[in-house]
Amino acid sequence: MSAWYERDRHGFLDDDEDRVVGQLSACASSADLDTPSDQVEEWRASVSLMHGAGADDEVGRRVRTVRGAVLEVPEIAHVVLEYDFRRRGLRLDAVLLSPGVVFVVEFKRSRLGAADRDQVMSYAVNLLEFHRVTREWAEAGTRIVPILVLTGDAAPPRVPLAPPSFAPAPWSTLLSRPLQCAGATGLRDALRLGLRNSNVALPCDRAVWLASPFAPSSTMIDAALSLYGQHDVSAIEAHAAPKAAIDDATREIAGLITHALAHGEHRLVLLSGAPGAGKTLVGLNLAFRAKDASRTVFVTGNAPLVQVLQTALKASYAEKPGGGLLATGYRHTKDAIGRDVGRLVRGAATFKIVTAHAFLGTRGAAHGQEDGTVVVFDEAQRTYERGREVLRQRLEDHEADLILKAQRSQFPNGSVVVALIGHNQAINRGERGMGAWLEAADRLGWRVSAAATTMSLLPSDHPSTTQVIDPLRFGHLDQSMRFYRNDAMERWAAAVVQDDPMAAKAHAAVLGSEGLPIRLTRNLETARSAVRRAGERSGIIASGQARRLGAHGLFVDHKPDIGAWMLAPSSDFRSSNALETVQNQYQVQGMELDHTVVAWDLDLRRSATGWAAYRLAGASWNSDRAADIAKNSYRVLLTRARKGLVLFVPPGDLSGDDETRPCEAYDAIAAYLTACGAVPIAE
């Protein structure tokens, strides 16, 4: 169900308040949402406005209700309450449909602020850019009018309605800022004002509008892909060979999707690749550009990447002179677009990107519509095992099984799941890896497509290696785009964590011959100086368990805003270039910088048998059996740089008083990394 309540004007006017509120509460309960008393009161306040609220001697007669407004504005044909976007938990308070105008209405109990205006504008843009029927109506001339309504007792009796103005193309049917009003009389006047600015009287069908699929417009397609390809999130333009492999993989998988849906198949497609090889870009291509993009949702466990994409979109409007969105047909100057229009698209480019563990929630499903028929899962190896707590609930089955079951149930006539698999990247406990998908596909009768290289990543005794797999020609990406002058960095990092210093030293020598030496220092200020480069992106990164770096002012439990960290200019203290704050492996996975300082702590240290993992508990380090997770965490950290890597290994507590920072343990790490080819920086 895409709306918790929907009626034509006559049905809405006939329903009493208790019925409407009861239906909203029942829907909230069935969606496993808490319904706090203040939310019920918010609904009652909104519905009271819609059904008459009596009079108040102190402020005069209460403003007329929306019911009164609907009676006085007969063009309002349909009322929709709590419309569910099914993405990121977004719900619209109300949508009022009339011939020629779609009103997007949000209710607030207290004063209206900039955040409220941004919220309702974002909702309106999401409808215009992704809701197919709204976009088709808008292309025919229907106006999109966002309205904010104050409902609380503290609200002033009237908020003057500003004269409406419309945004430049491609949002020229959308008001450039919301109409703000208080109570029923204000809402009535706002509706009338919106209708006066409508030039058409197109028929509006509530059933057609509610059944509309979500599909991105060309504006948002170009936005998302230009962000990933042309901001500081990727260096793709520098890589002809990896780009060709990405294009081949995209075409092959897109063809499989079309075939599977045409023949009613349930198919799992596995695409594997080295870190930084472009798996995410293939996924974005499929979700935004492929033939079946309108049915496709991009699901990721990498929430920081979503945040960076979102931040980069805002920046693209504010900072790109003469361009706006690079690949669209709209060529505005910076002044023509302006900051107000930039706000319109704050969250829109990532609308088709869903947080992975929210996908199984009621707003992650497609509810009988076609979007979600194809699901692209980035970082698919991170699906959790049965019993893991996700969104405050324990998984009743393995996450991969739950997803494939849900897809088959939701789309019995065919569905495709594209799983983007990174290998040697398990950095969380409870992750089941690629094998989870193969086991689930075997149990649930899904066909599987994968490359031979992908299948070779499984242990030889894994039961899934006996499955019949439809082969992919381009199902594995092995050329990293990060260290674009030489991919020896990936091999060097692998050798370091696999206790192979001789191989690591050989790879380091290749990097050195290319003018890209791996350097090491025991002094943090020296490390900072070594990575500062004008016009390039530098930053300090460390393991999430590296808590004794706090002695050097690096606090891994503090998570700076990743969008500002990755994209803000050097003059902004929040920028990675300021080299003041540190990000951990969870925040930077899937992203890269030009130069990194990797700060190494004692959570992964040398022992008589190789690497040993530790966790800080209280005032002491305790042995941790999850050594593979610790090693993979450092592998992620060691492969975030595109141009230069500096290793900072602290000297330890020279006084010997701090038992959590023994000098000899740090010295052993530094000696090993030197044996792996790291070149000490002369102090």
Please write the tens of the pLDDT for every residue from 178-226.
888 877 778 888 898 888 888 777 778 888 998 887 665 544 444 444 4
* 139 — pLDDT class (breaks 50, 70, 90): confident
Nearest to 546 by CA among 477, 633, 463: 633
Instruction: Write the pLDDT tens digit of every residue in 331-347.
Output: 222 333 334 444 444 44
DSSP state of 358: G
pTM, full prediction? 0.58
Task: Please give the pLDDT value at position 356.
Answer: 56
- Calculate the average pLDDT of the chain: 75
pLDDT tier at 159 (50, 70, 90 boundaries)? low
For 403-458, what is each residue's pLDDT tens digit? Answer: 898 888 889 999 999 998 876 544 445 455 778 888 889 889 999 999 988 888 77
**Taking 70 as the threshold, does the pLDDT of residue 286 lie above it?**
yes
How many whole angstroms separate alpha carbon 242 and alpha carbon 229?
Answer: 13
| Of 386-390, 624-628, 672-676, minimum mean pLDDT range | 386-390
Asked if residues 286 and 221 have their Cβ atoms less than 8 Å apart, the reply is: no
Band of pLDDT at residue 554, cut at 50, 70 and 90: very high
| Bond prior to 170 in cis (omega within 30° of 0) | yes
DSSP 191: H
Higher-scoring residue by pLDDT: 129, 377: 377
Residue 662 pLDDT: 96
Under 8 Å between Cβ of 629 and 426: yes
Measured CA to CA, the distance from residue 303 to residue 565 in angstroms comes to 14
Share above pLDDT 70 across residues of the chain, in percent, rounded to a whole number: 67
Sheet containing 610-617: give its strands across.
604-607, 610-617, 620-624
Which helix (H) or strand (E) segment holds residue 613: the answer is strand 610-617
The Cα 292–Cα 466 span in angstroms is: 31
DSSP letter (8 states) at residue 304: H
**Cβ contact 156:112 at 8 Å:** no
The region of weakest confidence among 119-133, 490-504, 603-617 is 119-133
Higher pLDDT: 518 or 423? It is 518
Q: State residue 93's pLDDT score.
A: 83
- The pLDDT tens digits for 294-342 are 788 888 766 676 666 656 555 544 434 433 332 222 222 233 333 444 4
Top mean-pLDDT range of 184-193, 263-272, 374-383:
263-272
Spatial contact of 549 and 542, defined as CB atoms under 8 Å apart:
yes
Per-residue pLDDT at 295: 82
pLDDT value at 104 more than 70 = yes
- List the beta bridge partners of residue 471: 450
Name every residue whose Cβ is closer than 8 Å to that of residue 113 and which is 6 or more positions away in sequence.
none
Range in 269-273, 485-489, 559-563 with the lowest mean pLDDT:
485-489
- State mean pLDDT over 244-257: 90
Q: Give pLDDT, residue 495.
A: 94
* 105 DSSP 8-state letter: E
Enumerate residues 6+ apart whose C-beta is below 8 A from 406.
360, 365
**What confidence score (pLDDT) does residue 234 get?**
36
Q: How far apart are CA 101 and CA 199, in angstroms?
A: 9
Rounded to 10 degrees, what is the CA torsion of 497, 500, 506, 508?
20
Q: How confident is the model at residue 587 (pLDDT cuts 50, 70, 90)?
A: confident
Mean pLDDT, residues 498-512: 93
According to DSSP, residue 284 is labeled: H
Q: What is the pLDDT of residue 418?
A: 95
Angle between helices 399-410 and 434-444 (to 10 degrees): 40
Contact 630, 638 (CB under 8 A): no
**Residue 449, CA atoms < 13 Å, CB-side half-sphere:** 23
576, burial (CB in 10 Å: exposed 0-12, middle 13-18, buried 19+): buried
339-355 per-residue burial string, b: 16 or more CB within 10 A, e: under 16: eebbbbbbbbbbbbbbb
C-beta of residue 584 within 8 angstroms of C-beta of residue 565: no
Distance CA 381, CA 45 (A): 46
Residue 523 has what pLDDT?
A: 96
CA distance 192 to 198: 10
Tens digit of each residue's pLDDT (9 = 90 or more) over 4-28:
888 888 888 777 766 766 666 677 6
* Least confidently predicted of 54-58, 98-102, 137-141, 406-410: 54-58
DSSP 371: T
Instruction: Report the pLDDT value the prediction gives residue 341, as an integer from 0 to 100.
Output: 43
Q: Which of 568, 589, 592, 591 is nearest to 580 (CA)?
A: 568
- Maximum CA extent, the chain: 87
Which range among 44-53, 372-381, 622-631 shows the weakest confidence by mean pLDDT? 44-53
More confident residue, 180 or 350: 180
**What distance in Å separates the CA atoms of residue 233 and residue 227, rounded to the nearest whole number?**
8
What is the band of 478 on the pLDDT scale with cuts at 50, 70, 90? confident
Of 243-252, 361-370, 392-401, where does the model show the most confidence?
243-252
Phi-psi region of 534 (alpha: psi -120 to 50; beta: other; left: phi over 0): beta
447 in helix, strand or coil? Answer: strand
pLDDT value of residue 503: 95
Q: Which amino acid is at 61?
A: R
Predicted pLDDT at 182: 76
Find the mean pLDDT for residues 144-152. 84
pLDDT tens digits, one per residue of 33-89: 444 445 545 555 555 555 443 333 222 222 234 566 667 788 889 988 888 765 545
